[in-house]
Structure 1
């Protein structure tokens, strides 16, 4: 047990003294060995994520499950079940088993869904008596990665405060503990059908997709058992790509981050439009009949217009992130709407929506949250509503895009930086900060620069947006070269 304050980049052991411990933790030896953890925080912008078998080990998952179980119980009146879901990665079974063991050791009952989209876990948290949920997935990351995401009993991402309490337990900041009771484990894949029914509920009797041909790229991931039938039940003709659960190929050259197969298939089958999900189906990207990419900015704009016309968008307010295109922001304001930006990450969007009462928000990368229908990003839900919007408009998706807004040229480059501490502390590199200042001064109001460490991948993301593509390309190359020179080696 740590006995003196230790600073872990924002996580301070002094915050968890005996005076303000989040739970009663007697000093009792736990039935496992202490973990060797990195000095940087485990929780990033979307839970814990890293290489399976190294950072994401069976031992870590076991202890994360135990401490999460204690934290969830501390903030719940009664010890109700925890929902557990997973994607198709080869490591997901191992991590789910270890997490379930940790949660039951903490005294909680576990309802294991098996293969299920992340938003399915979130929905079932809110629709049942569960006090929280856990999803095993690394979202859009490659197959060798994995992750652990937590949800509250309301279906929202678990607060940063409670994530800190879980991490404090893992690091020994709040003592050691054992539960007095042993929870039970139940395999309940049938609950996923309740989630599928909920997707249809707002559209049944209102939307008929009959006659529409839609291509779905399921990325060999969590949505393979649901997506096709969900669209077919509303009358659409569906062509599915990468539609088997495959842990070796999840997200590999497919899905929401690799749109070329979807673009080709939409044109080959002469489809009306196509949707691509990521590995856990909490976000999506679309393409029109000509194979043009339609990102989250356009999706927010279209859905926002529909809600605004129905007087379902309080104060015409939209929440997006710093990545949202300036063309989108200015077009929405020209309509008379309000526009707020947050840091990257759907948890930041969600927090701002709850704070302001906004009903619609999201990310350019395809995380879209509409509080009329759910509390978290849901790729399938969003795709259904966009298909419905296209049908009701009497226009094609391409025509809607042509009549919306002109984007500013925006380039995004990722620089791989394996060293976790160097990546998290990139702002201490004077050469990088000087290069950013130089670029911002040169572009003035003709562009903007955003450099940040990814919270989900071992990369530094460099984004440059400018009034013309020449400026964007020049300063992107300049900044990438500096980051590579000082951090990547």
Structure 2
């Protein structure tokens, strides 16, 4: 049996064996035992997004923490980076975010944080999972105290976000559109941008528990594009359900992904003299155009595996202050230890003011290579290279593309799919190879 932890915490359909009230209670107890290695009476903050199952899971997680011998603090609806910030700012021993990020409403999950607001490492998750197996699942135990509600959580997070840009920055005259995915950013976005005197329109900011990420947010920017063009906004920002990623839309209606945001941020930090070691970290999913653009700017680049935790750990190991993923997780390590969609949006607006350029001009600092991405549903997940037919078709594609393209095939860490990515300058060629690889995977893994 594999680990219950995926690429980013625990995730699944609410009610399955990984995501339910019993599991939340047991995880709460196990997490306290994990934290007792450094604290006799651990304090843990529990946050959630807008999913209808979130409140029940939050309550049981808090009960498990208290029964396990810790103190539980309940946050109102908050983003994942907001929860991370609260843990560090309140000097808590740990934190748990109840969310399934960009997944549909029927999903939920758990992300765990240490006292610094950092996500647990893979080895720490293994320790926690081992503790879970020894945890008594009896939820009928009476608790000796109630969880404490953090009334000032949202205000504290807003103040933190405001501190990440210069105090004298004047954003008057800017009009933007925000797509909150009916998720966690709905609780904070308008307050944040209002305090900066940024005129903004809101779409998908009325979460009812069952509409988070449903045809909206970072994975579905089409409606945001329409609003930006129709209302003549200078930019639009589309967040995912838990607010740790963002994609932008420029004034022409073009989508700006995480790689393009990284280039804009790289130039901003370099010009300001704060791009430590002239180094930027991205993942194996980043476009080849990003590498070319960084090279042209005289910057170093390190590649890591997918996941903003991997990005952060690589940044930390190599002394980088900027890193991210093409999906829109961007980490500004001088400010935060995890991807934050709202913080990233502020930095993009800051860059527009700093360079006095529209977003469409800045996004052209990187010319992306054509790319084909296919998600193939699979019923089994052997090592990719262990399946001869799949290994051969991938090798054939790489030989054909040579140095003018690349092929990446990997399993999703959160869904039962195999992701096929083929990139290169010849659109017809990469499209043909992507579909050929997908067909072979479909035939051999189902």
**The TM-score by the shorter chain falls in which range?**
over 0.9
Distance in structure 2 (CA, Å) of the matches to 1:353 and 1:347: 10
Q: Please tell me whether residue 319 in structure 1 is matched to residue 281 in structure 2.
A: yes
State the shift of 1:286 in Å.
Answer: 0.2
Distance in structure 1 (CA, Å) of the matches to 2:168 and 2:422: 42
Residue in structure 1 matching 2:369, options 389, 408, 411: 408
Following TM superposition, the consecutive aligned residue runs of length 4 or more in structure 1 with deviations greater than 6 angstroms are: 175-179
Q: Please tell me whether residue 366 in structure 1 is matched to residue 324 in structure 2.
A: no
**Which runs of 5 or more structure 1 residues have no equivalent in the other structure?**
1-38
Distance in structure 1 (CA, Å) of the matches to 2:94 and 2:31: 10
1:129-278 paired onto structure 2 within 5 Å: 129-172=91-134, 184-203=146-165, 205-278=167-240
Contact 1:217 1:255 in 2 (8 A): yes
Residue in structure 2 matching 1:60, options 9, 23, 46: 23
Residue in structure 2 matching 1:449, options 369, 384, 407: 407
Q: Please tell me whether residue 345 in structure 1 is matched to residue 307 in structure 2.
A: yes
Residue in structure 2 matching 1:85, options 47, 61, 64: 47
Residue in structure 2 matching 1:299, options 229, 240, 261: 261
State the shift of 1:424 in Å.
Answer: 6.0
Distance in structure 2 (CA, Å) of the matches to 1:259 and 1:100: 35
Q: Please tell me whether residue 51 in structure 1 is matched to residue 9 in structure 2.
A: no
Residue in structure 2 matching 1:470, options 428, 433, 437: 428
State the shift of 1:169 in Å.
Answer: 2.0
Match of 1:70, SS state, is helix
- Residue 73 (structure 1) aligns with: 36
- Residue 89 (structure 2) aligns with: 127
Distance in structure 1 (CA, Å) of the matches to 2:130 and 2:401: 44
Contact 2:422 2:434 in 1 (8 A): yes
Distance in structure 2 (CA, Å) of the matches to 1:49 and 1:424: 21
- Residue 346 (structure 2) aligns with: 384
- Residue 12 (structure 1) aligns with: none
Q: Deviations over 1:429-485 (max 9, x none)?
A: 222222211111121111111111111222211111112211221111111111222
Match of 2:201, SS state, is strand
Contact 1:88 1:115 in 2 (8 A): yes
Match of 2:433, SS state, is helix
Does the C-alpha gap of structure 1 residues 254 and 434 become closer, same or farther in structure 2, counting only changes over 3 Å?
A: same
Contact 1:106 1:182 in 2 (8 A): no
Please say which of residues 213-222 and 385-394 is displaced more in the overlay: 385-394
Contact 1:103 1:183 in 2 (8 A): no
Contact 2:76 2:151 in 1 (8 A): yes
State the shift of 1:236 in Å.
Answer: 1.1
- Residue 438 (structure 2) aligns with: 480
Q: Deviations over 1:47-98 (max 9, x none)?
A: 0011110131211121111111110121x24424111100111111121122
Does the C-alpha gap of structure 1 residues 398 and 83 become closer, same or farther in structure 2, counting only changes over 3 Å?
A: same
Contact 1:141 1:457 in 2 (8 A): no
Distance in structure 1 (CA, Å) of the matches to 2:41 and 2:82: 21
Distance in structure 2 (CA, Å) of the matches to 1:401 and 1:238: 21
Q: Deviations over 1:310-347 (max 9, x none)?
A: 22112200000001111111110122110000000011
Match of 1:165, SS state, is helix
Give the CA RMSD over aligned residues: 1.8
Distance in structure 2 (CA, Å) of the matches to 1:177 and 1:213: 52
- Number of residue pairs aligned between Structure 1 and Structure 2: 442
Distance in structure 1 (CA, Å) of the matches to 2:244 and 2:275: 22
Does the C-alpha gap of structure 1 residues 258 and 424 become closer, same or farther in structure 2, counting only changes over 3 Å?
A: farther
